[in-house]
């Protein structure tokens, strides 16, 4: 299965991807996670990406396309779940071209819709495990013990770009540069719309229905 998860920051892409990767047995490829890992490792890529991520801007297309091509060239990427890529029309065009050349076109684009005013609260309340990356929310999905990961006991932290100011910038960038991809993929008959403004379990069930799988 070759899928793209499309939706604004805070739509729940990462949350759903964690479950979908298991259910579908495909790698979860998140450009945001790849960039954050590079920042943590202090690689040249990380140093370049950090400048943009901090201010809520997109990392330039050439850089982003390069890392995705490399990842999709690995042997496990026969099927995949892309999360956070593509985010611009040039990225989508480049992906189409790359996938066509290797004879493995996209099967569907899951467009997760959530009203703008809900997204701000989701992002400013998001906390992530500094060890295993699991995600939480101070109100919607609090950990059992405050500040600690339920899965590994690691410390929960707030992402540097989840402050209100940067969140507002990211939502603006989404509208300006990414929202048009819904139309781009609609023209190609790939879009499956999913209401992301409901319980995560219900979102997952709707994704199942959209993919023709009844895993409720």
* Catalytic positions: 13, 87, 126, 159, 170
Smallest Cα–Cα separation from 18: which of 140, 113, 135? 135
**For ligand ADP, which stretch binds (CB under 6 A), given 96-104, 150-158, 187-195, 196-204?**
196-204
Report the site for Zn ion in 153-182 (rule: CB under 5 A).
Answer: 154
Residue number, 20 or 161, with CB nearest to ligand ADP? 161
What is the C-alpha separation between 28 and 137, in angstroms, rounded?
21
Contacts of 189 (CB under 8 A, 6+ apart): none
Contacts of 43 (CB under 8 A, 6+ apart): none
Contacts of 164 (CB under 8 A, 6+ apart): 120, 124
Choosing among Zn ion, ligand ADP, none, which partner's interface includes residue 209 (Cβ < 5 to 8 Å by kind)?
A: none
**For ligand ADP, which stretch binds (CB under 6 A), given 96-104, 150-158, 180-188, 195-203?**
195-203
Select the residue interacting with ligand ADP from 20, 29, 35, 129 (CB under 6 A). Answer: 35
Ranges of beta strands (E only) in the chain are 2-6, 28-30, 80-83, 108-113, 126-129, 135-137, 156-157, 191-195
Does residue 28 interact with ligand ADP by CB under 6 A?
A: no
Select the residue interacting with ligand ADP from 3, 6, 15, 143 (CB under 6 A). Answer: 15
Most distant CA pair in the chain: distance in Å?
49
Smallest Cα–Cα separation from 2: which of 111, 110, 113, 93? 110
**For Zn ion, which stretch binds (CB under 5 A), given 85-93, 124-132, 196-204, 207-215?**
124-132
Asked if residue 86 has a cis previous peptide bond (ω within 30° of 0), the answer is yes
Residue number, 103 or 158, with CB nearest to ligand ADP? 158
Report the site for ligand ADP in 122-141 (rule: CB under 6 A).
Answer: 122, 125-126, 135-137, 140-141
Q: Residues interacting with ligand ADP, by CB under 6 A?
A: 7, 9-15, 31-32, 35, 52-53, 56-59, 64, 84-85, 87, 91, 122, 125-126, 135-137, 140-141, 161, 170, 199-200, 203
């Amino acid at each position: 299965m070759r899928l793209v998860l499309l939706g604004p920051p805070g739509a729940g892409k990462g949350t759903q991807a964690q479950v979908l990767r298991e259910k579908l047995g495909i790698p979860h490829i998140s450009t945001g996670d790849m960039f954050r890992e590079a920042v943590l490792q202090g690689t040249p890529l990380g140093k370049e990406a950090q400048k943009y991520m901090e201010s809520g801007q997109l990392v330039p297309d050439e850089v982003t396309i390069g890392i995705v091509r490399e990842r999709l060239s690995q042997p496990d990427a026969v099927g995949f779940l892309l999360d956070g890529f593509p985010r611009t029309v040039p990225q989508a065009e480049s992906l189409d071209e790359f996938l066509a050349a290797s004879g493995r076109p996209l099967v569907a684009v899951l467009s997760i819709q959530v009203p703008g005013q809900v997204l701000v609260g989701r992002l400013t309340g998001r906390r992530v495990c500094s060890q295993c990356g699991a995600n939480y929310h101070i109100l919607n999905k609090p950990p059992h013990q405050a500040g600690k990961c339920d899965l590994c006991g690691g410390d929960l932290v707030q992402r540097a770009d989840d402050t209100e100011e940067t969140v507002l910038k990211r939502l603006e960038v989404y509208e300006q540069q990414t929202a048009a991809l819904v139309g781009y993929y609609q023209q190609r008959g790939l879009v499956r719309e999913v209401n992301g403004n409901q319980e995560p379990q219900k979102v997952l069930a709707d994704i199942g229905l959209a993919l023709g799988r009844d895993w409720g």
